[in-house]
Amino acid sequence: MFHLPIRPRRNRKSEGIRGLIRETSLSAANLIYPMFVQEGTENTPISSLPGCTRWSVAGLVEECRRLIDLGITTVDLFAVVPDDKKTPTADEAWNPDGIIPQAINALKNALPDITIMTDVALDPFNSDGHDGIVEFRPDGTYEILNDETIEILCRQALCHADAGADIISPSDMMDGRVAAIRATLDSEALDNVSILAYTAKYASALYGPFRGALESSPKTGDKKTYQMDPANIREALREADLDINEGADMLMVKPATLYLDVIAAMRAHCSLPIAAYHVSGEYLMLKSAAASGWIDERSATLETLLSIRRAGADMILTYAAPQAAQWLREQ
């Protein structure tokens, strides 16, 4: 026998001891479920996101009842918009009778204690598929117009807040939009509505299944002039400072697992709550590997979500939220 006065394994010898010293926890309360809502009465499974659905308003309400029973109290709503309602100026985005205000009203009437977050960006409503208004030039080039887009985002945010949204979540990455939305909400006595800013939204290759779910891929070019370069981390901290100074209540890093270093850096940099978005491509990689029998889906998913919490995220948006909440309840 070796004389080893220091044996770290003593702190791992039973589940009871491991539980006593566990540094990071994961619970259903940390999870936010992104949900897609569409017009009509059909609930349509999403082929690009196995386990997820394009919900009717009635179906959305019933699913949210189930989520609350699982301990998930916050949902993030995304609009599925028919092509005939998409325009270059995204007018449907601030329609008070649109699908998102309908969904908010139905949820608040049926489940008044649910917390509703709404996505604020133009890509589901824009016939060009971009998060902002596109100006095409005679020479064939184009530009995503920043300030003109912000004007529409403010109308969209006000529309959602008027309907009863608790948290407005601008995902567009336009410069100055947090300050403009905050000023708009405050001017209408909606100063209690929170803003969760997509602070560091990277121009990632992992958004494909989400764009398939919303049919919102850009018709021209890409989103690299407004979403962040995956090579940069100092830029994320600059964006954090701007969003904090403009009045954001919470900050987000998107995607999550490939950007754990950014989450950790942002956690060390500021005191605001931090969200991380476990995006569609990250979710689908786990689902695909599990379907092929190469990994155990339950263990790999919970380990992934725990790693995001360990990096410093207070809350996680994930398509795995209902299943993860069920697994956490069982264990």
Rounded (to 5) percent helix, strand, coil in the chain? 45, 20, 35
- The beta strand positions in the chain, using DSSP E, are 31-37, 44-45, 53-55, 74-79, 115-120, 133-136, 142-145, 167-170, 194-201, 250-254, 274-278, 315-318
**Annotated binding-site residue? 239:** yes
**Which ranges in 164-296 belong to alpha helices (H)?**
177-187, 208-214, 234-246, 260-269, 280-291
Catalytic residue among 85, 201, 223, 287: 201
Catalytic residue among 85, 223, 254, 287: 254
**Which element (helix H / strand E) includes 310?**
helix 297-311
290 secondary structure, DSSP code: H
Respond yes or no: is residue 201 known to be catalytic. Answer: yes
**Residue that the structure tokens 């998409």 belong to:** 86
CA distances, 182 to each of 94, 149, 154, 168, 247 (Å): 16, 15, 9, 10, 6
CA distances, 107 to each of 9, 63, 74, 269, 287 (Å): 49, 10, 11, 36, 29
Q: Are strands 274-278 and 194-201 parallel, antiparallel or unpaired?
A: unpaired
Q: Determine the Cα–Cα distance for residues 79 and 99; give it in Å rounded to an integer.
A: 7
For residue 315, list its beta bridge partners: 275
Beta-carbon contacts of 47 under 8 Å, excluding residues fewer than 6 positions away, are 212
Respond yes or no: is residue 254 known to be catalytic. Answer: yes
Give the dihedral sign, CA 88/93/96/102. positive
Classify 100 as helix, strand or coil: helix
**Residues belonging to the active site:** 201, 254
Q: Which residues are annotated as a binding site for Mg(2+)?
A: 239
Q: Which residues are annotated as a binding site?
A: 239
